[in-house]
Amino acid sequence: MLRLAILAAGRGCLLLLIAVMALPSAGSAQIKDKQIFAGTTIEAGWDAIDRRASMRWEGAGWIGNDTHKFRWKSEGELKRSTLEEAEIQALYSRRIAPFFDAQVGIRYDFSPRGATYAVIGIEGLAPQWFEVGAALFIDHSGNVSARLEAERDLLITQRLILKPFIELNFSANDVARRSIGAGLTDIETGVQLRYEVRREFAPFVEFRYTRLVGKTSHLASADGESKQDLSVLLGVKLAF
């Protein structure tokens, strides 16, 4: 049943994308005030400490007009040509408030285990310029998990920007096959320092700390997996 729902959500997204693409001529002939635009950002970082070719990426993009957008998001880690973790989300994003979008769509995890989820969430700009997001994920077995994210650009100079970030993941119940325990499962936090050579191109250095928490961390110990990870990444952020 849920599998069908997820499939439907995926197809719906595709249909919406097509619909959104068909919007270009919306708006009166004289003033084309509902034009479609698109934007993409991609961050790629390489581990500076672990020299064994570990690479992390994070990307997001959108296409649409001021109210309706198709958004995609992806993040993942490649360790010595093995996909440690990789996920991609495809969402329909609709402006519901001056600073916030409501989102619905699907998420597919390539790794650690192939998994598909329905996504419902909200994303936007909170007071004091915090970019925040909250999402609920439901997989085909009905397991519910959630994610909270926040980050903020702090301008040191016009081009040198410090960005602290934090991501919290939760699970409503234990999911044995993913070694996840109920409650807060993990925290990712850190800070990125980027220099905007151009708006489109910014090299960065990033300090990233990941830690499994609670039951999830116990499960990891039992498996002999590490509970925490600190990495330093050097990379590049592209925006276009």
In the chain, which ranges are E strands?
37-47, 54-64, 68-79, 82-97, 100-111, 115-126, 130-139, 144-151, 154-155, 160-171, 183-195, 201-212, 228-239
- Residue 228 corresponds to which tokens in the numbers above? 């925490």
Closest C-alpha among 173, 200, 187 to residue 230: 187
Residue 125 interacts with another protein (CB under 8 A): yes or no: yes
Q: Binding mask 168-207 vs another protein (x if CB under 8 A, - otherwise)?
A: -------------------------------x--------
Residue 129 interacts with another protein (CB under 8 A): yes or no: yes
Please report how close the Cβ of residue 95 comes to another protein at its closest, in angstroms: 6
Q: Count Cβ atoms below 10 Å from residue 48 Cβ, excluding itself.
A: 15
C-beta of 5 vs 125, nearer to another protein: 125
Residue 99 interacts with another protein (CB under 8 A): yes or no: yes
Residue 22 interacts with another protein (CB under 8 A): yes or no: no
Residue 97 interacts with another protein (CB under 8 A): yes or no: yes
Please report how close the Cβ of residue 27 comes to another protein at its closest, in angstroms: 4
Please report how close the Cβ of residue 199 comes to another protein at its closest, in angstroms: 6
Please report how close the Cβ of residue 33 comes to another protein at its closest, in angstroms: 4
Closest C-alpha among 183, 182, 206, 186 to residue 194: 206
Q: Around 41, how many Cα atoms within 13 Å sit in the side-chain half-sphere?
A: 9
The dihedral sign for the CA sequence 138, 214, 76, 66: positive
Residue 27 interacts with another protein (CB under 8 A): yes or no: yes
Please report how close the Cβ of residue 163 comes to another protein at its closest, in angstroms: 12
- Residue 92 corresponds to which tokens in the numbers above? 């329909």
List residues binding another protein (CB under 8 A).
26-34, 37-39, 66-67, 95-99, 125, 127-129, 154-158, 162, 199, 239
